[in-house]
Structure 1
Amino acid sequence: MPILEKSSAIYDKRLVVKKLFARQQHEGFGAVVRRSIGRFEFRYFDPFLVLDEFSVSAPAGFPDHPHRGFETVTYMLEGEILHEDCEGHKGVIREGGLQWMTAGKGIVHSEMPSSNSNGITHNKGLQLWINLSSKHKLVEPSYQEIESKDIAETEKDGVRVRVIAGEWNGVKSKICTRTATMYLDFTLSPGSRISQPIPFHWNAFVYVLQGQGHFGDSKLQHSAAAEHHLLVLGLGGDRLEAWNGSDSGLPLRFILVAGEPIGEPMVQFGPFVMNTQEEIDETIDDFENFRNGFEKARHWKSQAASALGLF
């Protein structure tokens, strides 16, 4: 999808130009996701490929699968997920924690509910796929992992912000991004509001996690949205205005994500994202023949998936 046209040159605030409800669908092994970006009517929002709000309960999950050419950002909202890969990396993403994985030239991994989840039956989170430019698509795989207690967080005037990537009011994230990205988790108490700067030419969206809020311009045009809704923000402004005008007394929680468009051709085949069909064909060949980044996947099976008898 091309960069959306400017909403209006006279506005300094970003207006909502598309609203989507993320319907449930099945993915992986018995997992349920609410996909907003990456579904048939909204395939690509440069540089964002997929946004899933996922829910998994053991033994469901996302067993061994490959990636190449992009990054995955996993942000746990509830419970925890065990991650393993063919390079030998293994760990747990716990509630409130973050994993920023650069798949680069190739990785095969699994994401399954942890066996040490202390009786937690619902494991929920967000996974965002971010495209990489051609110069970064074949870098070595790498991880940035941050526990909940180490994520930059601040609160002011009834607004609490967790800074996943970028910065807010001088508070900066520890995450380094290859594709310039801002990722903020806002919680607004009733009656509170924000006016959040967004780089003028970046594509941006909101995804509502809890409550109901208003987004746009309080004096001219705004859109109300409740949980599980994605709001695409048009260009033509340098900030998002949002507020919690609820009479219910409930907080409003949403993520605001913005990124600098890459502006390159994009061809996707499932978990592989490259610039041309020829590169996709080469990727499939590399994966099937365990080479050029997939060598260690030849004899690897994840412990979590193997314990369930999936392989």
Structure 2
Amino acid sequence: MGLNVVSKVRSVLKHFVAIEQSEGAGALVKRSIGTIQMRNFPPFLMLDNFDVSPPAGFPEHPHHGQETITYVLRGMMAHEDFTGSKGVLRSGDLQFMTAGKAIVHSEIPVKMDNGESTQGLQLWVDLPNDIKNVEPRYRDLRREEIPLATPSDNLIVKVISGESYGVKSLTELAYTPVEFYHFIANKKNTEFAQPFSDDFSSFIYIMKGSISISDQEYPESSAIFFKNDGDGIRGFTTSDNAEFAIIAGKYFNQKVVQYGPFVESSRENIVDVIQNYQNGVNGFENARTWSPVIKNGVTEAEVQQYLPKGN
């Protein structure tokens, strides 16, 4: 097992505890990026820690000029778009979606037999200006495809995208280079570290427990954003059974003009995208007539028909 060597720890730019709010149709989210406290953190545009139960969800809505990463931590999430693509993310699965030129999709929690809600993280990532209009695509990353790093008896790292402790993930998951690690510690005072390239913006979101960085403690639901003044992040857990995501993305210096789920480089371009959506043109042709199959809900018994064979 390799070491995660960090010579100079990055200093904290800003931190706060994400507050729960309503989103979609009856869903609850703890939003950190995309708020007054942190409007965006290039290349990241939004981070939601969602908790949703049927019949609530995220019904038909468009995207343009960005990518989304959805990570299901509990329960299952059904998804469908206006091209006819559909599927289900199980607990531990991820979806990397490139909206690019145009996509309209729906995300609905599966009705679980045990009554549990569906919980997870959704991250919105900016696309470089020269590929804002790329054709949309999906990449579902199944939990079986995610390698684990075990640097100690008390620490497991799910290497979703990138390299940690000598373990490398699958590649070509998204256009914008993003590193994504799920750290799971079972004991207080467990040390963790993650190095990054100089041109990668980095942050931590704590799903469970608490951690300490540079002698400051951060509680559950904290979002911690770092300056690019070191070669990585290092800290300790301050509770048993701590779980947190360490995420980084390549910074590119471009203007971000955002109108809800539409992201562009100028106000004029945003106006064009809104008109395209309203008029059903330039990629949005199916938006007016599409009605998702999953809109009436998906039960756990129906999930198998949405999964690839062998899952």
**TM-score normalised by the chain length of structure 2:** 0.89
Structure 1 residues not aligned, in runs of 5+: 1-10
Question: 1:19 pairs with 7, 15, 20, which one?
Answer: 15
Q: Deviations over 1:207-264 (max 9, x none)?
A: 001111112x3xxxx3211111100112210011121243xxx221110111111211
| Cα contact 2:55–2:297 (8 A) shared by 1 | no
Q: Deviations over 1:182-224 (max 9, x none)?
A: 1111012323212211112321100001111112x3xxxx321
Instruction: Give me the whole-angstrom Cα distance separating, in 2, the residues matched to 1:92 and 1:41.
Output: 33
Counterpart amino acid of residue 21 in structure 2: Q
Query: Which residue in the other structure is 1:51 paired with?
Result: 47
Q: Quick check: 89-98 or 15-24, which moved more? A: 15-24
Question: 1:275 pairs with 234, 240, 265, which one?
Answer: 265
4+ long deviations beyond 3 Å: none
Instruction: Give me the whole-angstrom Cα distance separating, in 2, the residues matched to 1:180 and 1:107.
Output: 21
Query: Which residue in the other structure is 1:73 paired with?
Result: 69
Structure 2 residue 182 is matched with structure 1 residue 185 = yes
| Cα contact 1:58–1:121 (8 A) shared by 2 | no
Task: Report the count of equivalent residues.
Answer: 289
Structure 2 residue 24 is matched with structure 1 residue 28 = yes
Counterpart amino acid of residue 50 in structure 1: M
Question: 1:173 pairs with 156, 169, 187, which one?
Answer: 169
Question: 1:61 pairs with 57, 60, 72, which one?
Answer: 57
Instruction: Give me the whole-angstrom Cα distance separating, in 2, the residues matched to 1:25 and 1:282.
Output: 30
Tell me, what secondary structure is at the counterpart of 2:73?
Answer: strand
Counterpart amino acid of residue 186 in structure 1: F
Tell me, what secondary structure is at the counterpart of 1:297?
Answer: coil
Tell me, what secondary structure is at the counterpart of 1:20?
Answer: strand
Q: CA deviation at 1:303?
A: 2.1
Structure 2 residue 144 is matched with structure 1 residue 144 = no
Tell me, what secondary structure is at the counterpart of 1:295?
Answer: coil
Instruction: Give me the whole-angstrom Cα distance separating, in 1, the residues matched to 2:109 and 2:12.
Output: 35
Structure 2 residue 116 is matched with structure 1 residue 121 = yes
Q: CA deviation at 1:124?
A: 0.3
| Cα contact 1:192–1:244 (8 A) shared by 2 | yes
**TM-score normalised by the chain length of structure 1:** 0.89
Instruction: Give me the whole-angstrom Cα distance separating, in 2, the residues matched to 1:145 and 1:171.
Output: 20
Q: Quick check: 58-67 or 39-48, which moved more? A: 39-48
Q: CA deviation at 1:38?
A: 0.2
Alignment map for 1:220-299 (pairs within 5 Å): 222-246=215-239, 250-299=240-289
Structure 2 residues not aligned, in runs of 5+: 1-6, 299-311
Q: Deviations over 1:257-301 (max 9, x none)?
A: 111112111100001000001110110111011111111222101
Tell me, what secondary structure is at the counterpart of 1:280?
Answer: helix
Q: CA deviation at 1:307?
A: 6.2
